[in-house]
């Protein structure tokens, strides 16, 4: 039995705001400059979406999925489009800053709103760390084209340099020549060795990443008009370059490169889901500028859908051109657009692409850095963060203190963290927001206390569609992916990655393995650059297991433990459970199909992100809950009003 005190506590955690509360609260705060039109908002959306994805991660996705990666772009666009419908309905109903945080306050209540607000802080901060690091890589490469070489320790994060140094040290001690290591590891190794030493600490810092953060944050601090103008200019430049790449590249397409179209099947295509989804992150940031729009109820929904449609068209065309110009296996590089033109001996195009990539990533950073302070401002207005976060600059009419703190939260980690760590964290935070916004539209379905919205998500009854979809999925998995399906159901252990494999054996076993490969397979070993990890990657998992057996090495080292195997599948089990629940609810409650499918598509992409990133995300959310129960719940404006 719940006591009255427990019931009151429960009500406090899930107290919901009415639209009247939100609109009245907005009117009582300082007014921001209303300058944005649908063209400006669409420009912000394109600025946020076309960035590191099209200039960098598209190569990784294409190398895994081949030309068929365009289907992944279409799938991701559909998932984001479904989420965009839900965002658009909320944005039209609640034209205030705060994005998914504000929408969740109305749909779910205060605790969920805090969780999503805290997740959005991570999304925008981590997203900008990612963009700043990528921008730094392109900027340093651009300078080198003019003969300007920054010291290696000034253009790399500390952990990449440190980890590469330790890994290279082990390989060198086991007889590998340093010159045979891949170029990136050599650079990191030398960066750590040559870095200034401060009290025993090697001072490896990504200085260009810091500079772009300071520059863009200053621009955002100065005002929305300045940010809008800069964004519009940068969008024109990068769209012009993307169209130039498509038009010029089309003349060099060899249709033979499109065969096979999906060389690694559906699994290969889906392996790029994180990289491709990262290419779409950002359209939701448009909704944080609602209070600076001239007509937010009309323009916000239009701009979200316009920006996704335009960017998807460009992504598909770019994917076709890239995979048609060179074989997909050659695209696993950091700068695929510049790479394909350098292969055609067209350095002038590579130079244009490098310059436009710098502009493109700066525009992404601009939109994210606009969004983050406005989330904090909204949370502060509600009393969930200290009052200083809602302060508006008297002249520039921007959330000044929040902008400064957002810059610090981005700048400090960018000096030390690497790109791989932050990309997946950004994706998982964004997808979590999308899931809750889609769920929010389902929660408000049929509520009578909400005002009519100028934009309504089209209603399609999912009563029979979802159960039929479940049956079709089960049939398809059993027919075409039976082995993988059974492996998932029965928790069969997987072969671990070669990097973890090498790290798990002692030096004597490592020497035995290296000597055997050098003696019996010298040609293949040399072809792999005398790198044992690359050699094992080339021969594949089955041959690696057979090799361990021949040398009487512990075969169990090759496989994950039962717990590790299950842990890696937990996100997929969460998806399966939610899928089943949504099928039941769709049948019983006649739920709207678009938000249901948006929720499931986004949750599926979340499930493809490695479990250690879920753990990192969970730690971030737990930290947020400590702050909520330590400060926010006692200072909540809504809570204090209802206690009066």
Please spell the DSSP secondary structure of 274-328, one letter per residue: HHHHHTTTTGGGGGGGGGGBSSHHHHHHHHHHHHHHHHHHHHHHHHHHHHHHS-G
Confidence bin at 461 (pLDDT 50/70/90) = very high
Q: Describe the chain by its helix, strand, coil percentages, rounded to 5.
A: 75, 0, 20
| Residue carrying the six token digits 């919901």 | 16
Those residues with Cβ within 8 angstroms of residue 434's Cβ, 6 or more apart along the chain or in another chain? 79, 80, 83, 100, 284, 598, 602
624 pLDDT above the threshold of 50: yes
Please give the structure tokens belonging to residue 592: 């709207």
- What does the pLDDT look like over 86-104, one tens digit per residue? 888 887 777 776 677 888 8
- Please give the angle made by the CA atoms of 284, 285 and 291, to the nearest 5 degrees: 115
pLDDT on residue 238 = 82
pLDDT on residue 1 = 47
Backbone angles phi, psi at 12, to 5 degrees: -65, -40
CA-based torsion, 263, 327, 138, 224: positive or negative: negative
Report the pLDDT averaged over residues 256-272: 79
Report the pLDDT averaged over residues 132-153: 79
Q: How far is CA 596 from CA 430, 443, 456, in A?
A: 17, 11, 15
Q: Does residue 95 have a cis peptide bond before it, meaning omega lies within 30 degrees of 0?
A: no
CA atoms within 13 A of residue 65's CA, in its CB half-sphere = 26
Please give the structure tokens belonging to residue 375: 């989330």
- What does the pLDDT look like over 13-43, one tens digit per residue? 778 877 676 666 555 555 666 788 888 888 8
d(C-alpha 130, C-alpha 141), whole Å: 17
CA-based torsion, 113, 116, 118, 124: positive or negative: negative
Q: How far is CA 612 from CA 109, 353, 424, 498, in A?
A: 29, 34, 10, 18
236 pLDDT above the threshold of 50: yes
Is the distance from CB of 314 to CB of 242 less than 8 angstroms? yes
- What does the pLDDT look like over 570-606, one tens digit per residue? 999 999 999 999 999 999 999 999 999 999 988 988 8
Burial of residue 470 (CB within 10 Å: 0-12, 13-18, 19+) is: middle
- What does the pLDDT look like over 536-563, one tens digit per residue? 777 766 677 777 777 776 655 666 667 7
CA-based torsion, 206, 211, 212, 216: positive or negative: positive
Kindly report whether the global pTM for this prediction surpasses the value 0.75.
yes
Percent of the chain scored above 70 by pLDDT?
83
**Mean pLDDT (the chain, rounded):** 79
Confidence bin at 4 (pLDDT 50/70/90) = low
Neighbour tally for 349: CB within 10 Å: 19
Is the distance from CB of 529 to CB of 515 less than 8 angstroms? no
Burial of residue 395 (CB within 10 Å: 0-12, 13-18, 19+) is: exposed
Bridge partners (DSSP) of residue 495 are: 559
Neighbour tally for 282: CB within 10 Å: 30
- Please give the angle made by the CA atoms of 497, 498 and 501, to the nearest 5 degrees: 90
pLDDT on residue 266 = 74
* Torsion, Cα of 53, 59, 60, 63 (10° steps): 150
- What does the pLDDT look like over 401-448, one tens digit per residue? 888 888 888 888 877 766 555 666 777 888 888 888 888 888 887 777
Report the pLDDT averaged over residues 133-159: 78
pLDDT on residue 466 = 94
Bridge partners (DSSP) of residue 272 are: none
Q: Does residue 295 have a cis peptide bond before it, meaning omega lies within 30 degrees of 0?
A: no
Q: Which of 285, 334, 319 lies closest to 48, judged by CA?
A: 285
Bridge partners (DSSP) of residue 155 are: 206
- What does the pLDDT look like over 352-381, one tens digit per residue? 887 888 888 888 888 778 878 888 888 888
Higher pLDDT, 500 or 300: 300
Is the distance from CB of 336 to CB of 228 less than 8 angstroms? no
Report the pLDDT averaged over residues 278-285: 72
- Please give the angle made by the CA atoms of 433, 435 and 437, to the nearest 5 degrees: 70
- What does the pLDDT look like over 52-62, one tens digit per residue? 667 766 777 78
pLDDT on residue 498 = 60
- Please give the angle made by the CA atoms of 479, 485 and 490, to the nearest 5 degrees: 140
d(C-alpha 172, C-alpha 193), whole Å: 14
Please give the structure tokens belonging to residue 608: 């493809």
pLDDT on residue 581 = 95
Ramachandran class of 383: left when φ > 0, alpha when ψ lies in -120 to 50, beta otherwise:
left
496 pLDDT above the threshold of 70: no
Report the pLDDT averaged over residues 114-135: 80
d(C-alpha 421, C-alpha 642), whole Å: 43
Is the distance from CB of 594 to CB of 82 less than 8 angstroms? yes
pLDDT on residue 191 = 80
């Amino acid at each position: 039995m719940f006591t009255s005190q427990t019931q009151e506590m429960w009500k406090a955690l899930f107290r919901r705001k009415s639209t009247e509360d939100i609109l009245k609260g907005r009117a009582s705060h300082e007014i921001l400059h209303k300058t944005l039109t649908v063209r400006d908002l669409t420009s912000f959306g394109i600025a946020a979406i076309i960035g590191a994805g099209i200039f960098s991660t598209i190569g990784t996705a294409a190398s895994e999925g081949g030309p068929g990666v365009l289907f992944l772009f279409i799938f991701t666009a559909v998932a984001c489009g479904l989420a965009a419908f839900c965002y658009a309905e909320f944005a039209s109903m609640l034209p205030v800053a705060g994005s998914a945080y504000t929408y969740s306050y109305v749909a779910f209540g205060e605790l969920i709103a805090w969780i999503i607000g805290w997740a959005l802080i991570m999304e925008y901060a981590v997203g900008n760390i990612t963009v700043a690091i990528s921008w730094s890589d392109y900027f340093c490469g651009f300078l080198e084209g003019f003969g300007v070489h920054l010291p290696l320790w000034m253009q790399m994060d500390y952990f990449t340099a440190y980890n590469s140094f330790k890994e290279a040290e082990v390989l060198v001690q086991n007889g590998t020549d340093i010159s045979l290591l891949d170029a990136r590891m050599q650079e990191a190794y030398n960066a750590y060795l040559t870095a200034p030493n401060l009290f025993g600490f090697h001072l490896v810092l990504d200085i260009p990443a810091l500079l772009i953060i300071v520059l863009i944050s200053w621009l955002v601090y100065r005002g929305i008009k300045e940010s809008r103008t800069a964004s519009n200019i940068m969008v024109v430049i990068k769209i012009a370059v993307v169209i130039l790449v498509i038009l010029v590249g089309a003349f060099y397409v060899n249709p033979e490169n499109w065969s096979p179209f999906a060389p690694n099947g559906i699994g290969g295509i889906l392996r790029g889901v994180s990289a491709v989804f990262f290419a779409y992150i950002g359209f939701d940031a448009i909704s944080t500028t609602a209070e600076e729009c001239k007509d937010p109820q009309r323009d916000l929904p239009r701009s979200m859908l316009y920006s996704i449609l335009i960017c998807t068209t460009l992504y598909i065309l770019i994917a076709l051109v890239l995979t048609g110009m060179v074989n997909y296996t050659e695209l696993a590089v950091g700068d695929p657009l510049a790479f394909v033109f350098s292969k055609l001996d067209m350095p002038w195009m590579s130079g244009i692409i490098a310059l436009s990539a710098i502009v493109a990533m700066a525009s992404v950073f601009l939109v994210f850095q606009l969004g983050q302070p406005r989330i904090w401002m909204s949370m502060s207005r509600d009393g969930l963060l200290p009052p200083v976060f809602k302060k508006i600059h008297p002249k520039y009419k921007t959330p000044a203190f929040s902008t400064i703190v957002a810059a610090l939260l981005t700048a400090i980690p960018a000096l030390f963290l690497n790109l791989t760590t932050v990309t997946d964290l950004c994706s998982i935070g964004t997808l979590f927001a999308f899931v809750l916004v889609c769920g929010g539209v389902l929660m408000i379905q049929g509520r009578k206390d909400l005002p009519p919205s100028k934009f309504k998500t089209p209603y399609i009854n999912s009563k029979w569609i979802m159960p039929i979809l479940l049956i079709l999925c089960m049939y398809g998995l059993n027919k075409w992916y039976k082995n993988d399906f059974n492996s998932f159901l029965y928790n069969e252990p997987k072969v671990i990655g070669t990097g973890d494999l090498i790290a798990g054996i002692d030096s004597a076993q490592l020497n035995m393995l290296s000597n055997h490969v050098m003696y019996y397979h010298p040609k293949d070993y040399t072809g792999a650059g005398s790198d044992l990890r690359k050699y094992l990657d080339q021969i594949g998992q089955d041959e690696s297991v057979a090799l361990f057996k021949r040398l009487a090495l512990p075969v169990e080292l090759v496989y994950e433990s039962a717990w590790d195997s299950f842990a890696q599948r937990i996100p997929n089990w969460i998806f399966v459970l939610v899928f089943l629940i949504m099928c039941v609810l769709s049948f019983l409650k006649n739920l709207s199909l678009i938000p249901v499918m948006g929720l499931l598509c986004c949750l599926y992409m979340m499930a493809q992100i490695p479990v250690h990133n879920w753990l990192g995300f969970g730690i971030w959310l737990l930290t947020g809950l400590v702050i909520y129960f330590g400060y926010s719940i006692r200072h909540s404006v809504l809570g204090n009003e209802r206690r009066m």
